[in-house]
Chain A
């Protein structure tokens, strides 16, 4: 097993004045190239903090993140993030939003025409080329998130980080977008790490599901392999015994052994 992305003994302590809160404790995880891994846990368990640490937006208190055996501790396009609330810049068009990253990452390696073609290629991947000149306020929530995915993909990240990417969408749009992400993963073979709180979503999309215990001092409670063959079809899985068993395991973990307790 080759470690592509490695989380090595990560602890995170927030300090405010004299009070300290230990959010994450001893997080160890290795992810292979091309793997789709989900991190699931109750809200407030620190899964978003973990993603921010991997993205380099927050520093770990101890421990570190290794990408291809090199430590990474500042944000960069090799770990592009798809943010929960799309985070498109409202004063730029769809095209310009994607181009912002492309211009930076490929400033030296691609010509102007090549960068333009690359932006359009990525918009085509998420079926958003038709809206290239629209502003984010003129397109729907699902479309915004597609553009957010295109922006991240266009940076050719080594690891694609998804921070509850479908959380703010309605159920039908969500299902549609999940299928899109699954197809993209199939086609491009990206390494993807996704934060989610949706059990079905985790089982449907992931190769492995990392379940986190409740905070404070959240740890990795259990890692579940999802032995379902790809490509997966949503409708077929509804009756698949393996799917139901995986789903059952995650539900048991979340609702029996680590039930969400309202923070005192």
Chain B
């Protein structure tokens, strides 16, 4: 034991005796600007080129298949020439439903915004109730499990009967379609709040309102945003279908109207826009969730 101790002393004595080496200032070599830009361009190319190639190939196949005379669907070149006016001027307004695509899309988005906001508020509220109270869960959960399987459009006749107007009925269909995943995910998030956090709240003596705002919502936020993201996707699915039936301005009715007047190219263009908007909505909620749950998602 004492042997090893002395050995250590001898070893540590050496560096102490050595003279202090002069400090040489080193400037870290910064990569030149152009190099950084080149790397950025490479990274972007890696992401952008493969989908572009696939799209180009698919368009080519589509063109070849549909170019024959007598083909039921138009090839991409025809779609473009047919819908050039709609693409170039989305803002025209000739009164009635003869409007540019921008107005149709914005009418649909307004309905979704209304219905989805209502379902987010009601869904998170009900989810908290079901997650927090065993009796609320026992009472409501079976009901939710049955109601959520009803297809969105099945609600439409009933809501038309109740509201006697297209606009509120469409909003109701959005609401009832998107609320279930929000309720269920919120409830799971609330139920999964670790006992530790509840203990901390108990020791600090937070009142129920403070507990809701400071512990419950942040702790369940990742789950809530999963529900919100599924919800926005379902809303966008439902609105197009609902608008086909209720008529008026809206991208859904635009598609139906184009079918009735056999403007197949316009349908293709509208589908393209529906897809893009749905994608953007999904990314929007995902991005919002990422910002809000910054701390919670890790750990």
Interfacial residues, chain A to chain B (CB-CB below 8 A): 55-57, 75-77, 79-81, 83, 85, 87, 89-92, 100-101, 104-105, 135-137, 155
Please judge, given known A-B contacts A83-B196, A85-B196, A100-B214, whether A90 and B299 are in contact too, CB under 8 Å: yes
B4 an interface residue at 8 Å Cβ cutoff? Answer: no
Decide if A77 touches B205 in the complex (CB within 8 Å). Answer: yes
Beyond A90-B296, A137-B299, 4 additional contacts (C-beta under 8 Å) are A55-B203, A75-B203, A87-B194, A87-B196
A/B interface sample: 9 pairs, CB < 8 A: A57-B202, A75-B202, A79-B203, A83-B196, A90-B298, A91-B221, A92-B295, A100-B204, A104-B204
Instruction: With CB as the reference atom, state the residue of chain B lying closest to A86.
Output: B196
Q: Are B197 and A89 in contact (CB under 8 A)?
A: yes
Given contacts A83-B199, A85-B196, A100-B214, contact A90 B205 (CB under 8 A): no
Distance of A3 from chain B, by nearest CB (Å): 23
Q: Would A57 and B205 count as touching, CB distance under 8 A?
A: no
B252 on interface, CB distance cutoff 8 Å = no
* Shortest Cβ distance from A52 into B: residue: B199
* B51 CB to nearest chain A CB (Å): 34
User: Which residue from chain A places its CB closest to the CB of B217 in the assembled complex?
Assistant: A91
With contacts A75-B205, A104-B206 taken as known, whether A57 is within 8 angstroms of B218 at the C-beta atoms is no
A81 touches B205 (CB 8 A): no
Q: How far is the CB of A164 from chain B (nearest CB, A)?
A: 13
Q: Are B295 and A80 in contact (CB under 8 A)?
A: no
B292 to chain A, nearest CB (A): 9
The residue that A81 contacts in the complex, of B197, B203, B215, with Cβ under 8 A, is B203
* B294 at the binding interface (Cβ < 8 Å): yes
Residues of B within 8 A of A77 (CB): 203-205
Give the CA-CA distance A101 to B205 in the complex, in Å: 8
Q: What is the CA–CA distance of A85 and B221 in the complex, to the nearest angstrom?
A: 22
Residues of B within 8 A of A92 (CB): 295
- Selected from B194, B205, B219, B296, the residue in CB contact (under 8 A) with A104 is B205
Say which size band chain B's interface belongs to.
20 to 34
B200 within 8 A of A: yes
Q: Is the CB of B203 within 8 A of A91?
A: no
Q: Which residue of A lies closest to B221 (CB)?
A: A91
On whether A81 and B199 interact (CB within 8 A), knowing A90-B295, A90-B296, A91-B294, the answer reads: yes
Interface centre among A85, A92, A100 (most CB of B within 10 A): A100
CA separation between A89 and B210, bound complex, in Å? 14
- Tell me the number of A-to-B contacts counted with CB atoms below 8 Å: 63
B199 touches A87 (CB 8 A): yes
Q: How far is the CB of A241 from chain B (nearest CB, A)?
A: 18
Q: Interface majority SS on A: helix, strand, loop or mixed?
A: loop
Residues of B at the A interface (CB closer than 8 Å) are: 194, 196-197, 199-200, 202-206, 210, 214-215, 218-219, 221, 293-296, 298-299
CA separation between A91 and B291, bound complex, in Å? 11
A55 nearest CB neighbor, chain B only: B203
A137 contacts which chain B residues (CB < 8 A)? 295, 298-299
Closest beta carbon of chain B to A144's beta carbon, Å: 10
Query: Hey, which chain B residues are within 8 Å of A79, CB to CB?
Result: 203
The reply to whether A91 and B204 contact each other, CB–CB distance below 8 Å, is: no
Q: Per a CB cutoff under 8 Å, which of B199, B293, B296 touches A57?
A: B199
Q: Which of A57, A75, A85, A89 contacts B215 (CB 8 A)?
A: A89
A228 to B219, CA, bound (A): 45
Taking the closest CB of chain A, its distance from the CB of B178, in whole angstroms, is 26
Residue of B nearest to A100 (CB): B204
Tell whether, in the assembled complex, residue B196 and residue A91 are in contact, meaning their CB atoms are under 8 Å apart.
no
Q: Which residue of A lies closest to B298 (CB)?
A: A137
Chain B residues within an 8 Å CB radius of A56: 202
Shortest CB distance B210–A (Å): 8
Most chain B beta-carbon contacts within 10 A, residue among A55, A81, A91, A105: A91
Q: Chain B residues with Cβ under 8 A from A136's Cβ?
A: 299
Query: When A81-B199, A83-B196, A87-B197 are in contact, do A155 and B204 touch as well, CB less than 8 Å?
Result: yes
**With the chains together, A57 CA to B196 CA distance in Å?**
11
Q: Which residues of B contact A104 (CB under 8 A)?
A: 204-206, 210
Q: Report the bound CA distance from A80 to B200 in whole Å.
A: 9
CB proximity of B74 to chain A, nearest CB, Å: 52
CA distance A188 to B205 in the complex (A): 24
Which of B197, B205, B210, B294 has the most chain A CB atoms closer than 10 A to its own CB?
B205
Closest beta carbon of chain A to B215's beta carbon, Å: 7
A105 to B204, CA, bound (A): 8
A contact residues around B202 at 8 Å (CB): 56-57, 75
> B295 — which chain A residues lie within 8 A by C-beta?
90-92, 135, 137
**Cβ B296 vs Cβ A80 within 8 A:** no
Interface centre among A83, A87, A105, A136, by most chain B C-beta atoms within 10 angstroms, is A87
Would A76 and B203 count as touching, CB distance under 8 A?
Answer: yes
Contact B205 A89 (CB under 8 A): no
Query: Measured between alpha carbons, how far is A133 from B21 in the docked complex, in Å?
Result: 37
Instruction: Determine if B214 and A80 form an interchain contact, defined as CB atoms under 8 angstroms apart.
Output: no
